Amino acid sequence: MPFPKATNLRSLSDAEVTEEILALKKELFTYRFQQGTRQTVKPHLIKQAKHKLAQLLTLEQERKRSQPVVATEETT
């Protein structure tokens, strides 16, 4: 299975991106757990999950930075 394209991920909503991030973090946790207990894990699946997670985290940061910043006034 090839790596997912960033253009496909950009069509997801913010909520879907957050859900995917959580799901991938859980998936990576199970892969690490399987490695630690000497169960067979296909290394390419770990690499693909990490790659997709990085893409989603980058997309999330891009969306946060593109939103306008609301200035707050502080009274000192």
Q: Are 59 and 6 in contact (CB under 8 A)?
A: yes
What is the residue extent of each domain of the chain? 6-63
**Which amino acid is located at 68 in the chain?**
P
pLDDT at 76: 65
Task: For 9-26, write each residue's pLDDT tens digit.
Answer: 888 888 999 999 999 999
Does this model's pTM top 0.85? My answer is no
- 63 phi/psi in degrees, rounded to 5: -70, -35
Fold of 6-63: Helix Hairpins (1.10.287)
Count the alpha carbons within 13 Å of 76 in the hemisphere toward its beta carbon: 0
C-alpha to C-alpha distance for 54 and 38, rounded to whole angstroms = 26
Confidence tier at 5 by pLDDT (50, 70, 90): confident
pLDDT at 45: 94
